[in-house]
Amino acid sequence: MLVYKIREFGKKYEDASTSDDTLFKQILFSANPNSFDDKHDRFILPEIPKLDSEEEIDIISTQITEKHIGYKNLKSFFENKKKIKEKLRVRDIFIDELKYSIRQENKNYGICSFTKNWNQLKNWIEYGNSNNGFSIGFETDDLIKLDLFSYAADVVYSNEYPQIPLLDYFPSDSSNPLDWFTNVFSKTFFIKSIDWKHENEWRIVKSFVDNPFRIERKFKFPAGIIKEIVLGFETNSKNTEKVVSFFSGSSIPIYKTYLPEDSYELKRIKIN
């Protein structure tokens, strides 16, 4: 399956790199989810009880302590349970701390997003500088074989907010890894609101959980895995010539989009 990375020309970043690096230096970037425009992306909260009775708070604090908190003896169990009960008694504070935990956890992941539709006009407007940019086509199997990322899947778009039990939300030593991936990870990384359906996204996720002190968000890929390049219909002649010249020695087809008279979808024509 072909997927596409749509970028704009010449955008500069704080680390002195530019958006052109994806095309001319073959560099992919896995973003911290905290930087996403979609503020629900990776911020799906678990089902949080009303917490309006001491009995309920006591039961939940016991369950959380038993499942998620490491304790050495009965004394440490009750100490940890007491701390959790104090947090649960103020529900808003508990939710704020939960969101903070998600933000901290997000630092240990990187997401690189692609679209399955090179001809979706809205994607070009949002990510290709209003059709002034470029798109690189990759075969998903080639990206997976690079072995640079931990997980890859289509994003699912839904009208329904994912339901995740509070006790299942964070992994623990007692968690079944497959159950946690199915019930939590897949819902927080690969489900988005139907409002983003036009993106038709396939994403790859890199986990830095095992080595959080050596986080490298840039990944070099071989130019040989580029299947095609598509330029937006507003791309100026200077950038068009630059791309055609740079890839003149390769067999990579280069296309330029145009607006058809009888369709809402973009069309394209080969220019090399």
> Per residue in 185-202, pLDDT tens?
899 999 999 999 999 999
Q: What is the pLDDT of residues 112-148, one digit of tens each?
A: 999 999 999 999 999 999 999 999 999 999 999 988 8
| Mean of all residue pLDDT scores within the chain | 91
The pLDDT confidence band at residue 85, using thresholds 50, 70 and 90, is: very high
The pLDDT confidence band at residue 30, using thresholds 50, 70 and 90, is: very high
Q: At residue 21, does pLDDT exceed 60? A: yes
Helices (H), 69-185: 74-88, 91-106, 121-127, 140-145, 177-180
What is the structure's pLDDT at 172?
A: 66
Q: What are the angstrom distances between the C-alpha of 105 and each of 55, 101, 109, 170, 209?
A: 30, 6, 8, 10, 8
Q: At residue 235, does pLDDT exceed 90? A: yes
**Sequence spans of domains, the chain:** 2-32+107-155+190-270, 54-105
d(CA 24, CA 255): 17
Q: What is the pLDDT of residues 43-83, one digit of tens each?
A: 999 999 888 899 999 999 998 888 777 777 888 889 889 98
pTM equals 0.88
Q: At residue 174, does pLDDT exceed 60? A: no
| Lowest pLDDT segment from 24-28, 150-154, 178-182, 266-270 | 178-182
Task: Identify the CA nearest to 68 among candidates 180, 163, 188.
Answer: 180
What is the structure's pLDDT at 6?
A: 97
